[in-house]
């Protein structure tokens, strides 16, 4: 049986400022006995802390790992909407450009938006929606040209599928 590793203050959280009560709830989710228990706690976390990146990321990662890709994608769209609203820019990634925000921010809503774009691209790849994944990942690299978020490798994968089909 695999050992369950709890979140620790020095690692695992997306945001430096994750509230302790949210950390505690996410730790409880990791220890839940059933997938339904995990999901319930993660949904509660997102409901109670919709402005916190970790509440969103924990949920869509859970769905992704559970191979519930449609639900993962829906959770990512909600994270994108919340992040865009908090950061004050258009939620539609297609309309964004380098000057839409300070994309180099390392925490907060802007970072959640970029990280969620990467997640959207990866989920779409997993769902076999290669052209859509490629579009999202190209936009991510436009907004994150130094590839701090790590979308470049997934864009390479998406492009390799496109090349094979040609």
Reported as a single tens digit per residue, the pLDDT across 21-68 is 998 999 899 889 999 999 999 999 999 999 888 899 999 999 999 999
Phi, psi of 36 (to 5 degrees): -65, -35
The predicted structure's pLDDT at residue 166: 59
Q: What does the block give as tokens for 55?
A: 């509440």
The predicted structure's pLDDT at residue 165: 64
Q: State which residues of the chain have pLDDT below 50.
A: 1-13
The predicted structure's pLDDT at residue 137: 98
- In eight-state DSSP terms, residue 16 is T
Per-state percent for the chain, helix, strand, coil, to nearest 5: 65, 0, 35
Bridge partners of 8, per DSSP, are 11
- In eight-state DSSP terms, residue 88 is T
The predicted structure's pLDDT at residue 16: 65
Using CA atoms, how far apart are residues 58 and 66, in angstroms rounded to an integer?
12
- What the chain holds in terms of domains, given with CATH numbers, is 20-88+100-165 (1.25.40.10)
């Amino acid at each position: 049986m695999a050992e369950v590793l709890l979140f620790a203050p020095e690692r695992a959280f997306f945001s430096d400022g994750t509230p302790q009560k949210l950390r505690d709830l996410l730790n409880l989710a990791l220890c839940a006995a059933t997938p339904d228990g995990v999901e319930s706690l993660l949904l509660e976390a997102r409901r109670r802390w919709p402005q916190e990146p970790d509440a969103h990321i924990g949920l869509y990662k859970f769905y992704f790992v559970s191979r519930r890709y449609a639900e993962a994608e829906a959770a990512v769209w909600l994270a994108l909407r919340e992040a865009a609203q908090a950061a004050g820019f258009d939620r539609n990634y297609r309309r964004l450009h380098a000057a839409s925000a300070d994309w180099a921010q390392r925490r907060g809503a802007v970072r959640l938006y970029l990280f969620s774009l990467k997640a959207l691209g990866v989920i779409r790849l997993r769902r076999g929606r290669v052209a859509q994944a490629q579009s999202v990942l190209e936009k991510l690299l436009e907004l994150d040209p130094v590839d701090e978020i790590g979308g470049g490798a997934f864009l390479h994968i998406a492009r390799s599928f496109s090349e094979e089909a040609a």
